[in-house]
């Protein structure tokens, strides 16, 4: 792969993103489902790519772009930092604690119900089924294709070669469920008054409907903080974000993975490095020349291309040999993610509960890219603080590393019920934290409003 392959891939992506915006502006169906231009572009790329019509030919490295772009998104979150206004520290702590507990519940419920259903139902129907099958639903749904491949390799090393294909099947179904199920959820939520920043489609102005902002509604993307005689202001911000993102990746891959621990997500390290720069810069005059709006536009652009490549590169190859257990656990997975929106979403989150829940729903059905897509539809400016609070809770990543490393071996060794018990206990503790901390909300899920609404 050369730099010109990179240019060609992004040229194709740019073309389809522009076509997607044209379709969004002209076709009512896409407007009614609030479908982002980048998502339309991604599906066009998928259909015209090697999976179907084989018209488009991306480079071999195109499948890694989404992972790279996620690093940029979280770098900006860290670099933009956070501000706790006087008297709001307790409120912020409650918000982050409840959301963190909610994320733990959403993660471990898939292990609990997936492995439990396998031991009770699937093993009864197929006694010879490999005992590790129960974790594959979670590896595909909450883990996505990357995790499914990693877990599949772990099982292959343990003597079960088919696990990789099964995991990829779960991942593919999970992503499709995340996209279309999420859009249906959003459509219902706008009608029931669950959304804080996007209201019923009938009352949405033409800007939001078509994605084209009228001249009298336009706002500045940011300020020029650096004189163009010295350095273009956008170039200054891009350089800062790229520097932190790149060094975050190098720190993780060349230092932490080699000398400390493998498996820490690159975006987590990049976020923490960006946050460190924020904490240092804000004590100096350097931060006077950092415009958060410009950084956010960089992040938004990265998100649009992330969505395109995340969807266009979906692996659609599935297998039919395990059709029955696949269908059963797919249904279990769908129950898990639906329960985590209604009722657990509004019980464990108060303001902006739907925005925060639909983001978790999205990444619990495949990849962060889907969560970003759904969140961007209902909260395009991140007023719900969902991305911030996600980045502020990196320790879930360490739990993920631990579970994907140890659970497959435990299941192969016949410790399935022990794993179910531990995961169920974590779910109970997550709910108990909200109950004890008075963060278990019983009022109507409609009309709660948002944090900055």
Coil, helix or strand at residue 439: coil
Higher pLDDT among residues 323 and 225, named by residue: 225
* Residues above pLDDT 70, as percent of the chain: 90
Q: Is residue 150 part of a domain?
A: yes
Q: How confident is the model over 277-310, as pLDDT tens digits?
A: 999 988 888 888 999 999 989 988 988 888 788 7
Q: Which domain holds residue 108?
A: 3-56+65-81+96-209+300-436
Per-residue pLDDT for 34 more than 80? Answer: no
Average pLDDT, integer, range 325-351: 91
Q: Is residue 152 part of a domain?
A: yes
Q: What are phi and psi of 82, to 5 degrees?
A: -150, 155
Q: State residue 318's pLDDT score.
A: 44
Longest dimension (CA), the chain: 73
Higher pLDDT among residues 237 and 366, named by residue: 237
- Please tell me the distance from the alpha carbon of residue 156 to that of residue 137, in angstroms, as a whole number: 17
Per-residue pLDDT for 179 more than 90? Answer: no
* CB distance 373 to 306 below 8 Å: no
* CB distance 146 to 170 below 8 Å: no
Average pLDDT, integer, range 50-56: 89
**Alpha-carbon distances of 120 from 115, 127, 213, 315, rounded to whole Å:** 9, 11, 54, 30
- Please tell me the distance from the alpha carbon of residue 21 to that of residue 36, in angstroms, as a whole number: 8
Q: Is residue 87 part of a domain?
A: no
Q: Is residue 443 part of a domain?
A: no
* Residues above pLDDT 90, as percent of the chain: 36
Which sign does the torsion angle of CA 257, 261, 262, 264 carry? negative
**Alpha-carbon distances of 135 from 77, 320, 414, 439, rounded to whole Å:** 32, 18, 13, 30
CA angle 404/407/411 to nearest 5° reads 140
The reported pTM is: 0.68
CA dihedral 284, 285, 286, 292 (to 10 degrees): 100
Q: Is 438 left (phi over 0), alpha (psi -120 to 50) or beta?
A: left
Average pLDDT, integer, range 443-449: 83
- Please tell me the distance from the alpha carbon of residue 376 to that of residue 183, in angstroms, as a whole number: 12
- Please tell me the distance from the alpha carbon of residue 157 to that of residue 316, in angstroms, as a whole number: 24
* CB distance 143 to 407 below 8 Å: no
Q: Is residue 317 part of a domain?
A: yes
Q: How confident is the model over 221-269, as pLDDT tens digits?
A: 888 999 889 999 999 999 999 999 999 999 988 998 888 877 566 877 8
Q: Is residue 370 part of a domain?
A: yes
Q: Is residue 258 part of a domain?
A: no
Most confident of 203-217, 313-327, 407-421: 407-421
In sequence order, which residues have a C-beta less than 8 Å from that of residue 219 and are 6 or more positions away?
Answer: none
Domain count, the chain: 1
Average pLDDT, integer, range 410-439: 93
Q: Indicate the pLDDT class of residue 388, thresholds 50, 70 and 90.
A: confident
Q: Which of 102-116, 306-320, 404-418 bottoms out in mean pLDDT, i.e. has the lowest?
A: 306-320
Could you count the other beta carbons within 10 Å of the beta carbon of residue 250? 13
Q: Which of 338-342, 370-374, 427-431 bottoms out in mean pLDDT, i.e. has the lowest?
A: 370-374
Most confident of 107-111, 363-367, 397-401: 107-111
Average pLDDT, integer, range 90-97: 79
Q: How confident is the model over 117-135, as pLDDT tens digits?
A: 999 998 888 888 888 999 9
Burial code (b: 16+ CB inside 10 Å, e: under 16) for 281-305 equals: beeeeebeebbeebbbbbbbbbbbb
* CB distance 151 to 135 below 8 Å: yes
Q: State residue 419's pLDDT score.
A: 94
**Alpha-carbon distances of 208 from 185, 287, 356, 357, rounded to whole Å:** 18, 32, 20, 21
Q: Is residue 369 part of a domain?
A: yes
Q: How confident is the model over 76-89, as pLDDT tens digits?
A: 988 988 665 555 56
Q: What is the rounded radius of gyration, in angstroms, for the C-alpha atoms of the chain?
A: 22
Average pLDDT, the chain: 85
**Alpha-carbon distances of 297 from 189, 209, 273, rounded to whole Å:** 27, 20, 20
- Please tell me the distance from the alpha carbon of residue 207 to that of residue 25, in angstroms, as a whole number: 9
């Amino acid at each position: 792969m050369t730099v010109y392959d990179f240019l060609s891939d992004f040229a194709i992506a740019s073309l389809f993103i522009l076509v997607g915006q044209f379709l969004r502006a002209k076709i009512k169906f896409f407007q009614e489902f609030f479908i982002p231009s980048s998502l339309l572009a991604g599906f066009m790329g998928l259909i015209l790519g090697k999976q179907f019509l084989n018209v488009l030919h991306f480079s071999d490295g195109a499948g890694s772009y989404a992972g790279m772009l996620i690093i940029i998104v979280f770098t900006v979150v860290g670099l933009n930092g956070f501000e706790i206004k006087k008297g709001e520290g307790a409120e912020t702590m409650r918000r982050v604690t409840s959301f963190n507990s909610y994320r733990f519940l959403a993660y471990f419920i898939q292990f609990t119900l997936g492995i439990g259903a396998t031991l009770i139902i699937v093993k009864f129907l197929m006694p010879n089924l490999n005992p590790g099958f129960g974790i594959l639903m979670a590896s595909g749904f909450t883990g996505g294709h990357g995790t499914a491949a990693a877990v599949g390799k772990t099982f292959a090393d343990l003597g079960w070669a088919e696990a990789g294909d099964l995991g990829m099947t779960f991942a593919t179904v999970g992503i499709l469920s995340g996209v279309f199920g999420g859009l249906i959820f959003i459509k219902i939520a706008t009608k029931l008054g669950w959304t804080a920043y996007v209201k019923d489609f009938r009352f949405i102005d033409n800007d939001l409907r078509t994605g084209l902002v009228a001249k009298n509604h336009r706002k500045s993307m940011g300020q020029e903080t650096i004189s163009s005689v010295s350095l273009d202001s956008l170039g200054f911000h891009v350089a800062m974000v790229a520097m932190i993102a790149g060094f975050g990746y190098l720190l993780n891959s060349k230092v932490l993975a080699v000398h400390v621990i493998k498996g820490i997500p690159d975006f987590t390290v990049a976020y923490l490095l960006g946050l460190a720069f924020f904490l240092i810069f804000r004590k100096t005059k350097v931060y006077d020349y950092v415009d958060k709006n410009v950084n956010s536009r960089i992040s938004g652009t990265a998100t649009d291309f992330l969505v395109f490549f995340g969807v266009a590169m979906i692996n659609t190859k599935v297998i039919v040999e395990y059709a029955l257990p696949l269908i059963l656990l797919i249904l279990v997975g769908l129950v898990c993610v639906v329960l985590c929106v209604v009722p657990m979403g509004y019980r464990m989150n108060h303001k902006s509960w739907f925005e925060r829940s639909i983001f978790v729903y999205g990444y619990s059905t495949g990849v962060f890219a889907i969560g970003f897509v759904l969140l961007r539809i209902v909260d395009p400016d991140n007023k719900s603080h969902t991305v911030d609070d996600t980045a502020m809770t990196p320790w879930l990543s360490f739990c993920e590393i631990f579970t994907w490393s140890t659970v497959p071996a435990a299941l192969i060794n016949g410790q399935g019920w022990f794993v179910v018990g531990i995961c169920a206990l974590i779910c109970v503790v997550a709910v108990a934290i909200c109950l004890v901390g008075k963060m278990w909300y019983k009022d109507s899920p409609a009309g709660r409003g948002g944090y900055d609404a």
